[in-house]
Every structure is written in C-alpha cells, then in structure tokens.
Amino acid sequence: MKILQIAGYKNTGKTTLILDFVQLLKQYGYTVAIIKHHHITEDVENSTDTGRFFEAGADYTAFNMPGHSVMLEQPEKPLTVQLQRFQNEGVDFVLVEGYKNENYSKIILTHSFTEGDTDINEIGLTNVLNRFDMRYDKDNAMNWFKEWSNISNENV
C-alpha cells in the first residue's frame, strides 16, 4: 500500500489535486482511500436517525445506502489504526490530507489562493518529496504523481 500526504495551508488546492489523483488512479483500476484531518468538529446532522444514534453515544454508527456505506466512529481513531484498516482491506493507495506532522511521504502545496504565498519552512515538515504551486504546477504535479505511483500509459 502506498501512502502519500498532501499538505499545505488552507485554500492551496489540496482537495482539487487529491480529486485529480483519485480519478487518475481509478482509471487504472486501483483501490483508493482518503483520510482527511479536520481541525474543527463538524456535528453529524442530528435531525436524522443516524445523527441521533451518534449523538446518543453510539461508539459506531453505520448507515447503508444503495451503492455505498458510511461508518461513523467515536472517539477519533489514530492515523496508524486507520492505515492498518486500509492495509487489511487491500487498498492500493491512501491519500492523506493533513496530519502534516506525521512522517509519511508528502508533497506540499505552497500558495494559498486566499492568503498568498506561504512559508512552509516555518511548520517543520519532514519527508517532503516535492513542492508545488497550483497556480503554475498542476501538470507538473500530475506528472510527478504518475511517476511516484508507477503509473504509465503502458499500464492501461
């Protein structure tokens, strides 16, 4: 299982780039998992039965819909536990947004579309494989990702 962190300040294009990575990987038939770290708590909609179960204190709340399932868990599970779960499921790629202090391979997006250029050196990141400014580097980021993930036109 290959793990790549995508880090950067708010509005640097992380989600957009991750969506592009997912679409590319799915074209080649890979299984992909995403883990996103939020710094704020977003309440589960408590007007639904599912939200009410969760707010009542259920440790796990699963809901199934045609075509997919969602599992809510509390308390939050450590990143290592989530990664092990995906490993056990046979996931090919895990893309992690956030958790910037973890030591997995990562790329950094350096320009915030709302804040301007950001100094990533001040946050002390480790294991940085590459840096991209999404104003100019989207094609470079995609080409880099194809190389990192060992995807080529020959694999189609």
- Over the chain, what is the mean pLDDT? 87
DSSP, collapsed to helix, strand or coil, labels residue 94 as: strand
Paired residues of 107 in beta bridges: 6, 130
**Residue 47: band (very low, low, confident or very high) from pLDDT cuts 50, 70, 90:** low
DSSP E strands, 9-154: 32-36, 60-65, 68-73, 93-97, 106-109, 111-112, 116-117, 128-132
Minimal CA–CA distance to 95: which of 29, 141, 10, 34?
34
39: Cα within 13 Å, side-chain hemisphere: 5
Q: Is the pLDDT of residue 90 over 60?
A: yes
Q: Residue ranges per domain, the chain?
A: 2-39+79-155
Rg (alpha carbons) of the chain, rounded to whole number: 17
State the average pLDDT over residues 54-70: 86
Asked if 13 and 109 touch (Cβ cutoff 8 Å), the reply is yes
Q: Is the pLDDT of residue 117 over 70?
A: yes
What pLDDT is stored for residue 122 in this prediction? 63
Query: Could you give the CA distance from residue 119 to residue 109 in angstroms, rounded to a whole number?
Result: 10
Q: Is the pLDDT of residue 71 over 60?
A: yes
What pLDDT is stored for residue 44 in this prediction? 58
What pLDDT is stored for residue 101 in this prediction? 86
* Residue 99, φ and ψ in degrees, nearest 5: 50, 40
Looking at 1.10.260.40, 3.40.50.300, 3.40.50.2300, 3.40.720.10, the CATH number of the domain 2-39+79-155 comes to 3.40.50.300
What pLDDT is stored for residue 154 in this prediction? 47
Residues ≥6 apart with Cβ < 8 Å to 40 = none
Q: Is the pLDDT of residue 111 over 50?
A: yes
What pLDDT is stored for residue 121 in this prediction? 67
Residue type (1 letter), 32: V
Q: Is the pLDDT of residue 127 over 80?
A: yes
Using one digit for the tens of pLDDT, what is the confidence trace for 25-41?
999 999 999 999 876 65
State the average pLDDT over residues 45-70: 82
Range with lowest mean pLDDT among 15-24, 55-64, 94-103, 132-141: 55-64
What is the Cα 36 distance to its own chain's centre? Answer: 5
User: What sign does the dihedral 125-131-133-139 (CA atoms) show?
Assistant: negative
